[in-house]
Chain A
Amino acid sequence: MSPAFFEPPDDDCAALLQTAERVAARAEPGEQLEAFVARSNYTSVRAHAQQIESFTSASSAGVGVRVVRDHRQGFAWAGSLDPDVIDDALAEARDNARFAEPDEWVGLAEPDGVAPVPFDAFDPSVAALSADRKIELALELERMVLAGDPRISGVRVAGFSDSTGRFAVATSTGIAGTSRGAWCSMSVLALAADGDETYTGAGSTVGFSPEALDLDEAAADAVLRATRLFGARPSASRRLSVLFEPRVAATLIGILGSSLTGDRVLKGRSPFAERVGERIATGALTLIDDPTDHRSYAADMFDGEGLACRRNELVVDGVLQGFLYDSATGRRAGRPSTGSAVRGVSSTPGVGCQALAVLPGSGSFDDLLAGIDDGVYVQSMTGLHSGVNVVSGDISVGVEGLIIRNGELAEPVREVTIASSLQRMLLDTSAVGADIEWLPGGTACPTLVVDEVSLSGS
């Protein structure tokens, strides 16, 4: 059943694929059947005050079964791969399919001949790392933060975590795919106190192997962010330029990406639905979604429906190129799937961005800073889930950071919001930096400068 060009990377993946294929083979006449199975292991160490607050180790597995009959879809999932549990899930999914209303576009993915780009980010050193070493790393990161500045009053938590995961998907329509991955990451939340003021600063580092973790950078980031806000107060309300550092800019780019997905577009929930071929952003902005770029921590060979991941151009030189699709939304739009189905065990595939990347523009962080007369440098945003409406595009979020005056960082600011709309911010972007950073979520983003944003404060 597997295409000849694809071999499972190891026995565990092969076993998962076999489990999925056995379920898919149970399709009855007139029925399409898909099984998505996954197994993962993770450990997590949390340190506080040079003690190990908690050490978690666990493995989990699960299955999601999707049935399509007469263009009606049903789904069931379970947190176990026991044969009787899979039987129950299959029976439930079949029963659920009876109650959905038919849609001619609904159906599983079909093999489309696109070969997956080989990728196997599975460094054995992740699984081989000893518990003692993980504990040492967490304690070391905390020590580095505590020693970073006399005003650091403590650490809320310093953590190490690693995970290895495998998934396989198989369908009665001939799809078969499996892949694996291993990651480790560390994060720390520093507390800085002076007088009756206390601030927090976060730092993190991610890698495909423990050696790739950069504790120095994570610690320095957390200390700097926590200590540079002393004396922060609201600034006067006005319109100004906003400088978003890469990790904050990536959040905005993620909001844009989510509104360029086929489901939103086809169902009238995207402000960009009718705008392919039009200029929607500054000419300096080029945005792609490319899970075949192996620098991304979200890189993968297969999407959630088992189709090969591929490079998709969304915005080129500010002009909207098109949208992302899974197989069902692609059929409805008259387009091929872009390999953009994202999912977990407990949900059906949906269209999503996998590895968004803004291509580098020009200018370093300092160059971009130097070009701003009156602005705010944003180090963190809050209230994204309540202050961003992805349908209307309205954005209003709380920020902390530093005022920019005459090209230089000036006094700290807090308890203020910035507001605009996504549509306006894309057009009001005046600079895209050259300083690309690959971020923990798998996105690549440079520093962005957006003009004419409303700041609300005193």
Chain B
Amino acid sequence: MIDASVLERVLGSALRTGGEFAEVFAEDRRSSSALLDDGRVEELTSGRDRGAGIRVVVGDTTGFAHTADLSEAGLLAAAEAAAAAARGGGGGVRTIALTRQQASRGYEIEIAPVEVPKARKVELLTRADEIARSTDGAISQVSVNYGDSLRRILVANSDGLFAEDETVRTFFAVSCVATGDSGMQTGRESIGHTIGFELFDRYDIDELARRAAGRAITKLAARPAPSGQMPVVIGSGGGGVLFHEACGHGLEADLVSKGASVFGGRVGQQVASKGVTVVDDGTMSREWGNIAIDDEGNRAQRNVLIEEGILTDYMWDQLRARKEGRASSGNGRRQSYQHLPMVRMTNTYLLAGTEEPEAIIASTEKGVYVKHLGGGQVNTATGDFVFGMTEAYLIENGEVTEPLREGNLIGNGPEVLQRIDALGNDFAMGPPGTCGKDGQGVPVGDGVPTLRVSSLTIGGTAA
């Protein structure tokens, strides 16, 4: 994208006012999407965005500027703006010598989406629409989304790091509305991987459309969710967001260092039930949160956060790690070149246990079985988190019975981690997610086996 010699000059210029660390992050992103709604392919969209963000660090202060102009003059202007924002005491000339690093994600993209005819993408939409509508006469509306992106990034910094990466992601989602006597209900299914158009060799679109339709239909007969505390069984693959919210955000080093996490100062302590091992793993091949390098040029890693219930480490970006005199854990990510990086998750999951999933349900006398969770949100200071159930059922006498209407569940992270009393042997990754933090969204994955929390508060309306 940019010559090493240009980058060296830009970094040198960025440090001229006394900065200790300077970085150029350049990005070139192409995206395409197609939308079917109301029985018709409404629109295809193509997008192109490229530019560079330059940061200069002096002490605790970061100066940041971004530009869409990738010429040397454009980059130098941005470097000057970033340097002006972070004025240091000293100054002088520093020579930067970049060393190119090779990062590999260990697998190849098989079919570049840009090579696939648009007509083929449109066919997928109409196929999914037909299948969803033919599933049941109560399906009253369907929308189908296709999206792909090619993101090339380049990171060069004053420590001499010079790394590049290219990431391809492909996404597909079907959303249905079912209408019945009780009103309207919705069902959605999505797939997304850090791969190309081979996504559609791995998944059956018909099956996906049927599941989305089925979820909406099932909920037409749903009764109001209960209100109050009871055991909750979470289905395999459907509930990784629980850990993303219950402990993931609280283990981000930027929040910890500001005293804004209930998990601050607790490394080495028992924070979860004994069998609980939580991992954040950017190297997980083909998963939605897969990265070869993070957005600060550091190699992705598999980081064990909680091992057998004991808190082992937080997640780190370059700045926090630098301050603590340790290495980044490869969790410095950003939405785009227009944003500063911060500590972010990648693929966050809970390792499988040994129990049969059926046995976990059978041993639950009364509770809720959440087959599929929606998004969630956490207040890291208190640890209180919510997450939505998009497909849930009552458990009565050890059996899954009636479907429940949507609602949120609420719990407290440190308490819920201690209340995990059953872990299944059926681990699976869940659908693709977008994690939001301070206004920036990044793609993340999550996964869980079937598990039970002995008590969570269900936010329904039934007494």
Contact = CB atoms under 8 A, between A and B. Distances in A.
Q: Which of A55, A57, A101, A268 has the most CB of B within 10 A?
A: A55
A73 B118 contact: no
B66 interface: yes
A348 interface: yes
A278 interface: no
A78 B47 contact: yes
Interface stretch (A21-29, A318-326, A386-394): A386-394
A85 B68 CA distance: 12
A414 B384 contact: yes
B385 to A, nearest CB: 8
Interface in A401-458: 414-420, 454-458
B61 A398 contact: no
A76 B386 contact: no
A386 B412 contact: no
Nearest to A44: B64
Contact of B43 (A75, A85, A269): A75
Interface stretch (B104-112, B231-239, B277-285, B400-408): B400-408
A234 interface: yes
Contacts of A347: 45
B338 A268 contact: no
A446 B377 CA distance: 26
B18 interface: no
Contacts of B385: 382, 398
A48 B319 CA distance: 15
A210 B374 CA distance: 40
Interface string A86-102: 00110011011111110
Nearest to A393: B183
A383 B377 contact: yes
A198 interface: yes
A55 B64 contact: yes
B459 A397 contact: yes
Interface stretch (B94-102, B158-166, B189-197, B255-263): B255-263
A96 B186 contact: no
Contacts of B308: none
B43 A74 contact: yes
Given A51-B59, A153-B259, A200-B260, A387 B408 contact: yes
A269 B184 contact: yes
Contacts of B260: 154, 156, 191, 198, 200
A26 B258 CA distance: 54
Interface string A261-289: 00000111101000000000000000000
B338 A457 contact: no
A77 B47 contact: yes
B43 A56 contact: no
A77 B45 contact: yes
Nearest to A49: B60
B387 A199 contact: no
Contacts of B375: 383, 385-386
Q: Which of B118, B255, B373 has the most CB of A within 10 A?
A: B118
A346 B47 contact: yes
A54 to B, nearest CB: 4
Contact of B185 (A101, A391, A400): A391
A396 B407 contact: yes
Interface in A357-399: 382-387, 389, 391-394, 396-398
B388 A417 contact: no
B86 A267 contact: no
Interface in A181-236: 191, 193, 197-200, 234
Given A386-B374, A393-B183, A396-B460, A73 B259 contact: no
B122 interface: yes
B63 A267 contact: no
Contacts of A49: 60
B228 interface: yes
B358 interface: no
A333 interface: no
Given A73-B42, A191-B381, A457 B47 contact: no
B1 interface: no
Given A199-B381, A271-B183, A393-B183, A387 B407 contact: yes
B386 A383 contact: yes
A419 B229 CA distance: 15
Contacts of B382: 197-200, 414-415
A147 interface: no
A29 to B, nearest CB: 22
Nearest to A55: B85
B228 A391 contact: no
Contacts of B59: 51
A267 B260 CA distance: 43
A149 interface: no
Nearest to A81: B68
Given A100-B41, A101-B41, A419-B461, A397 B184 contact: no
A55 B49 contact: no
Given A54-B340, A383-B386, A396-B459, A85 B258 contact: no
A454 B227 contact: yes
12 contacts: A57-B81, A76-B47, A101-B41, A131-B84, A267-B141, A383-B410, A385-B388, A387-B386, A387-B406, A391-B184, A394-B406, A417-B409
Interface of A: 48-49, 51-62, 73-80, 85, 88-89, 92-93, 95-101, 103, 131, 153-154, 156, 191, 193, 197-200, 234, 237, 266-269, 271, 346-348, 382-387, 389, 391-394, 396-398, 400, 414-420, 454-458
Interface of B: 34, 37-38, 40-51, 59-68, 81, 84-86, 118-119, 122, 140-141, 177, 179, 183-186, 225, 227-229, 255, 258-260, 262, 338, 340, 373-379, 381-382, 384-388, 390, 405-412, 457-463
